[in-house]
Amino acid sequence: MDIDLPKEANKIRQDIIEMLLEAKSGHSAGSLGMADVFTALYLGGVAKHDPKNPAWEERDRVVLSNGHICPVLYATLAHAGYFPREELKTLRKFGSRLQGHPNRFVLPGLEASTGSLGQGLSLACGMAWALRLDQKRNHVWCLTGDGEQDEGQIWEAAMFAGKYKLSNITQIIDRNNIQIDGHTEDVMPLEPLKEKYESFGWHVMETDGHDIEEITHVLNETKKIFEKPSVVIAHTIPGYGVDFMEWKSEWHGKVPCAEEAKNALNQLRSLCGNITSEHE
């Protein structure tokens, strides 16, 4: 059966709102903004994976270096069939498998425990290097934030990947222009980001972060690049789909109150069906 991917991404966004409302803490803007990229990755056939066999040897490795946006990862994993959607409501609860940052020891499907910004890309490079040494064909997908690019460790990893020509890794940067304290270009200018990565020996591609067809195409193209690591700069809108959150850095780490969540869900439902009625 063909999945309607934009509709699925919108359902994921609705789940994110409900999870954050229930948890009363967490990160709204980045999670909503990356729903289309995650949909392409896990439901659009980009990453090789099997929800029924999370430890499958042939699986690709997905590392969420910007671990704070894990609500989108959890919601996507649930939609992909890794665990029941009902569990999403346990986000950030004591003893839950869905911690505020990913814990790979408790949730099947996670490759790395992340949240300390800057570290995930190094982990991912290590995985890619090890897979290369073992002559395996698995691909490594590493998601990072644009504010996360301020971490020096990102550029150590970038040098390493360039030196060893790790063509089995694709970094996907959530280029949403916000970080915890404001706009990226005010806090610590990143531009020209494309040229920076090119000078570190990476193949750079860009995509509209909300066009699932384009995202899927661009991510798949990176698998065909040999001799270089790839980075995809995904231009996203933080808080995508909820007008009072879009582009606003104050929604980086804030959650909606009951009234705001109702408003957000109404906006998302009017875009693309009502998730509750479909899943009940």
Ligand X SMILES: Cc1ncc(C[n+]2csc(CCOP(=O)(O)OP(=O)(O)O)c2C)c(N)n1
* Binding site residues, ligand X, CB under 6 A: 27, 29-30, 66, 68-69, 115-118, 145-148, 174, 176, 178-180, 238, 252
- The minimum distance between CB 174 and Mg ion, in angstroms, equals 6
CA dihedral 50→231→107→252, nearest 10 degrees, is -130
Residue 6 or 253 with smaller CB distance to ligand X: 253
Measured CA to CA, the distance from residue 259 to residue 256 in angstroms comes to: 8
Judged by CB under 5 A, the chain residues 65 through 94 that form the site for Mg ion are none
Helix (H) or strand (E) holding 233: strand 230-235
CA 48 to chain centre: 16
Q: Does 144 bind Mg ion (CB under 5 A)?
A: no
CA distance 180 to 133: 38
Q: Which residue is nearest to ligand X (CB)?
A: 145
Cα 119 to chain centroid distance, Å, stands at: 15
Nearest distance from C-beta of residue 57 to ligand X, angstroms? 31
Q: Is residue 147 a contact residue for Mg ion (CB under 5 A)? A: yes
**Closer to Mg ion at the Cβ: 145 or 256?**
145
Alpha carbons 37 and 261: distance in angstroms, whole number: 23
**Do 68 and 23 contact (CB within 8 A), yes or no?**
no
Closest contact distance (angstroms) between CB of 136 and ligand X is 29
Q: Is residue 249 involved in binding Mg ion (CB under 5 A)?
A: no
Of 19, 3, 6, nearest in space to 264 by CA: 19
Q: Which is nearer to Mg ion, 128 or 245 (CB)?
A: 245
Site string for Mg ion, 152-191 (x = CB under 5 A): ------------------------x-xx------------
Check residue 239 for interaction with Mg ion (CB under 5 A): no
Please enumerate in sequence order all residues whose Cβ is within 8 A of that of 71, keeping only pairs 6 or more positions apart, or say none: 16, 19, 20, 26, 27, 31, 91
Neighbours of 171 (CB within 10 A): 28
**Residue 256 interacts with Mg ion (CB under 5 A)?**
no
Q: Which lies closer to Mg ion via its Cβ, residue 69 or residue 169?
A: 69
User: Are the C-beta atoms of residues 24 and 255 closer than 8 Å to each other?
Assistant: yes
| Least spacing, CB of residue 258 vs Mg ion, in Å | 27
| Nearer CB in complex with Mg ion: 10/31 | 31
Out of 18, 60, 146, 260, name the contact with Mg ion by CB under 5 A: 146
Q: Least distance in Å: CB of 171 to Mg ion?
A: 14
Question: CB-wise, 29 or 275, nearer to ligand X?
Answer: 29
